[in-house]
Amino acid sequence: MYRHIEQAIEAELNGEPAAADSLPLATGFIEKVSRRKFLKISGGSAAMALAMQIVPGSALAYDPYPTGAEGMPHKTVIDPQVFVAIDADGTVTLTTHRSEMGTGARTSVPLALADEMEADWSRVKLRQAEGDEPKYGNQDTDGSRSLRHYLQPMRQMGASVRLMLEQAAAQKWGVDVSLVKAENHEVHMKDGSKSIGFGEVAADAMAMELPAFEDLTFKTDDEFRYLGKGEVPMYDLHDITTGKARYGADITLDGMKFAAVARPGVVGAKVISVDDTEAMKIPGVERIVKIAGSMPPAKFAPLGGVAVVANNTWAAIKGRDALKIEWSDSPHSTFNTAAYADEMRATAKKPGKVLRKVGDPDAAFANAKRVFSQEYYQPHMQHAQMEPLVAVADYKEGKLDIWAPVQSPYGARTDTAAALGMDPKDVRVEVSLLGGGFGRKSKCDYVIEAALVSKEIGAPVKLQWTREDDVRGGFYHTTSVERLEAALDSNDKVVGWRHRSVSPTLFSLFVEDPGHTSALEGGMGLVDTPIGVENLVAESGEAKAHTRVGWFRSVSNIPRAWGVQSFIAELAHDLGRDPKDMLIELIGPDRKIDPVAADMKDLWNYGEPYEEFPNDTARLRGVIELAAKKAGWGKDLPKGEALGIAAHRSFVTYVATVVRVKVDDNGNVSIPETHMAVDCGFCGNPERVASQMEGAAVMGMTLAMHSSINHENGAVTNSNFHDYPVVRINSYPKQVHTHIVEHPFSVHATGIGEPGVPPFAPALANAIFAATGKRYRDLPFGENVG
Amino acid sequence: MAISIKVNGQEHTYDGDPSIPVLWYVRDVLDMHGTKFGCGTGQCGACTVHVDGKATRGCLLSLESVAGKEITTIEGLDPNGNHPVQKAWRAHNVPQCGYCQAGQIMSAASLLADNPKASGEQIEQQMAGNICRCGCYQRIQAAVESAASEMEG
Ligand code: FES
Ligand code: FES
């Protein structure tokens, strides 16, 4: 998200609704752009770069399509010399430029290249790219974009290298290239008379001139060896099971020191005085370093505080805990969760800023026979990724080397360079595996801290956050009140629809708090609602941030799906209707929503050109019906058991979830079965999609039942897993079945890292209601409904 | 006084702060990074090691309290990484980010060493000390069950 957000902010604040230059693809429907225009791929080395163009008559197995990749900073680079190396022994080394945090992107993206070039995956090695977007193209691993944006460029590079290998072999044999064919790491004469390994022609092949795009051939779907099959495990699987996989803290440099930081409890508070007497007595503690603080909007600047430097992590943490620090006051020390929630609820009852209006909702509500309305609350939440933040930095003679688990390696590089007043040329960022990210590791405050400390002490340093630091020094998922209203006529027909969202914006990290949900956040289930009621209004109520609000996996889709999908089930109950039928009826007839007619012309479409990735209600209905069918919607269940359903489009992927709950006599809720139907276009790796859905179910259950970051007088009161609990193996949703809607490559692949999360909480609450008659409108609602 | 300890069959002595937890000793002093830091308070299991064969949280275990004992970390579980639990983990494609998995595997290996016939419910109870924020539980459970049947078989 991160650097795309900065572009979005610029566009929004400059009042460029169509965002003509900075966001060309977010709003692709405004301007009927030719595919050709989008397919000019910018290259790293201009001479080598290929332009993907549609050439009449070329043997394409699919029709190339534009994606939002070309609207991202540094776009894509399509250059085999950058991404592919082949040794004489046949080892193929592919550069993988996306961060791995559990989705499988580090494997699945280069797998597409290997498949198209006919490489044998067992002879492929991966090299993780350092943060260098001018060289590799955009590296921001978030927004569920890795496959969405990189399947085509990877295939194009694979097809180019395959042809170069064929040309080299043909040259060696003195035959026409049409007589040879690359297959499974070898080039054969089509008549079977000769074959030669990739390694043996590699040097000649890689010295070939890059073929023109129109000379490339692409595999047809049935020729894929790996794509769409889900049979290739994650590249790091073996290393993960043996402890060899390297995460952020798993590097040691000569002379490296260890650091832990005392940060202010309240955002914006500053160090007045520090007494390090006790800290310095801890064996292993060497010195302290002050880090300057910041007040939002300050992007990812460190919170500030005092670092304790020691000869091991344990000593640094103990030393940090022994510091006595006097902190200044902060304007945010008045922030209290309960009072803030009350304020949001009050705001939600008043008219808000209109973001979208269709028909005449005011008249519909004024003339309604009755109005049905409810409010849904969601507190701030924190990522709680398993690996607490950590970074290793080595500043030496004007150069800075960083090793860190980062979702945006180039962002971390440029931000850290700026914080230290350096030229990004002098900063190098190596990316380790990420022990989870969920959006937190897009924000590089921890990297900047390590760099500042290394520079100050003149030695390499590993700066480790504790779990408490991580819980209390977060960039929190927004809190929200979603108010839904339905105007009913005398036949109980829904004739008006109002969705008012009150929710502090993550834009407040970057600019003076606008006080309203942004277009980007509005596009996550508020403005882009598929609800087809003829009189409809989407509004934002004012709310200002009092902490660092940042994105968390699925972002604003979580509160929006929570509100809308709970409300529809409530409305169905009120009207004596089946919730699934009601949901499908409210979505209305199958259609690709026409954004102009629907007053969504400023719609944020996850950065994708709308024509290529439209909001297609037939696909939404498709996943609803699929999940319902697989779950046996409508069947009789034992006493205490019931189904709940919810569906949501996010990151241009459609997911419907049916949760089956079991509530025992004591009110304890368990989840014996869940069905998730996913329409993500062409599915590159079904095995990882299933794994993401299973994980999304667990995260959805956690946030539904447990997650609430609480502020008292500006400071977070949670600290560790005992008061910020997550679902464990003794209560997880059992038997999560993932049903993937099958599509050919021509149906554009979309993302899967995030879209599984939003429908889970409302499906669960709807199931609990169906089982017990108890309706939850505030998250989290705990695991006992007695 | 220096502390003597055996880690993965190798003798070591340490003359630093004897209260250093085993987690930080193996990570920062021995430079063995398979054992992970997750919470530092015994709540997540990322730091699980075996002390004389029993799964124990390394983050709360001072080095002096295990002097003379045998510590096994994920690196020492099996010389080729082919403990039945490790194999089952791969067969079931358990990991997502993978960060918790060394601890999960160490807990499962200890559980099955004690009780190779562990029931589904016993597995849930005993593995409940290991958090996986990515939510791999469905596969963890399946992998432990299949490792159990392999160890039994
Ligand atoms: S780090 Fe030891 S239990 Fe979490
Ligand atoms: S795999 Fe990521 S925490 Fe378990």
In chain B, where the domains are located: 3-76, 84-152
Note whether B3-76 and B84-152 share their fold: no
pTM: 0.95
CATH code assigned to A257-331+389-464: 3.30.365.10
Write down the pLDDT at residue A9. Answer: 74
How large is the greatest C-alpha to C-alpha distance in chain A, in angstroms?
Answer: 84
pLDDT at B22: 98
Chain B segment 10-39 residues within 8 A of A by beta carbon are 16-17, 20-21, 24, 27-29, 31-39
**Any A CB within 8 A of B82 CB:** no
Q: What is the mean pLDDT of residues A43-61?
A: 41
Q: Band of the pLDDT at A14, cuts 50, 70, 90? A: low
Reply yes or no on domain B3-76 having CATH 3.40.50.261: no
Q: What is the pLDDT of residue A44?
A: 33
Q: Which amino acid residue places its CA nearest to atom 3 of ligand 2?
A: B132
Contact between chains at B37 and A388 (C-beta distance less than 8 A): yes
Assembly ipTM: 0.99
The finding on whether B129 has its CB within 6 A of some atom of ligand 1 is no
% of chain B exceeding 70 in pLDDT: 99
Residues in chain B within 8 Å Cβ distance of A720: 39-41, 43
Q: Is the CB of B99 under 6 A from ligand 1?
A: no
CA nearest to B129 within chain A: A728
B92 touches chain A (CB under 8 A): no
pLDDT at residue A97 is higher than 80: yes
Nearest CA to ligand 1 atom 3: B42
- Confidence grade of residue A13 (pLDDT, cut at 50, 70, 90): low
d(CA A117, CA A161): 6
- What is the sign, positive or negative, of the torsion defined by CA atoms of A436, A439, A440, A444? positive
Sequence length of chain B is: 153
Q: How far is Cα of residue A491 from the mean position of the Cα atoms in its chain?
A: 43
Say yes or no: B146 contacts chain A, CB-CB below 8 A: no
Fold match between A44-50+57-245 and A257-331+389-464? Answer: yes
CATH architecture of A44-50+57-245: 2-Layer Sandwich (3.30)
Say yes or no to pLDDT of A27 above 90.
no
- The yes-or-no verdict on residue A56 having pLDDT over 70 is no
Give me the residue label for tokens 């004024």: A366
Contacts of B135 in chain A (CB under 8 A): 694-699, 727, 732
Looking at the partner chain, which of A240, A314, A691 has a beta carbon nearest the beta carbon of B24? A314
Cα(A102) to centroid(ligand 2), Å: 7
CATH topology of domain B84-152: DNA polymerase; domain 1 (1.10.150)
Q: Residue B131: which of A245, A317, A726 has the nearest Cβ?
A: A726
Residue A148: CA count within 13 A, CB half-sphere: 28
User: What integer best gives the mean pLDDT of chain A?
Assistant: 93
Contact A102 CB / ligand 2 (< 6 Å):
yes
pLDDT, tens digit, 9 for 90 and up, residues A286-329: 999 999 999 999 999 999 999 999 999 999 999 999 999 999 99
Q: Where are the domains of chain A?
A: 44-50+57-245, 257-331+389-464, 349-381+476-772
Count Cβ atoms below 10 Å from residue A725 Cβ, excluding itself: 18
CB atoms B95 and A237 under 8 Å? yes
Probe site for chain B from A99, A103, A242, A256 (most B CB atoms < 10 A): A242
CB A314 within 8 A of CB B21: yes
Distance in Å, alpha carbon of A258 to nearest chain B alpha carbon:
9
- Band (A49; pLDDT cuts 50, 70, 90): very low
* Interval between CA B95 and ligand 2 midpoint (Å): 6
CA–CA gap between residue A277 and residue A590 (Å, rounded): 70
Above 90 in pLDDT, residue A19?
no
For A238, which of B43, B81, B133 is closest by C-beta distance? B81
Residue type (1 letter), A761: A
Ligand 2 atom with minimal separation from the B134 CA: 2
Give the DSSP H or E segment for B5. Answer: strand B3-7
Q: For A241, which of B31, B40, B105 is closest by C-beta distance?
A: B105
Grouped pLDDT means (10 residues each) for chain B, 153 residues: 94 96 98 98 98 97 96 97 98 98 98 94 96 98 95 77
Query: How far is residue A184 from each of residues A113, A119, A162, A195, A226, measured CA to CA in Å?
Result: 13, 5, 10, 11, 11
Query: What chain B residue is nearest to A238 in terms of C-alpha separation?
Result: B90
- Hey, are the CB atoms on A313 and B99 less than 8 Å from each other? no
Whether B96 lines ligand 2, by a CB cut-off of 6 Å, is yes
Interstrand relation of B3-7 and B70-72 (parallel, antiparallel or unpaired): parallel
What topology does CATH give the domain A349-381+476-772?
Answer: Aldehyde Oxidoreductase; domain 4 (3.30.365)
Give dist(CA A508, CA A514) in Å, integer.
7
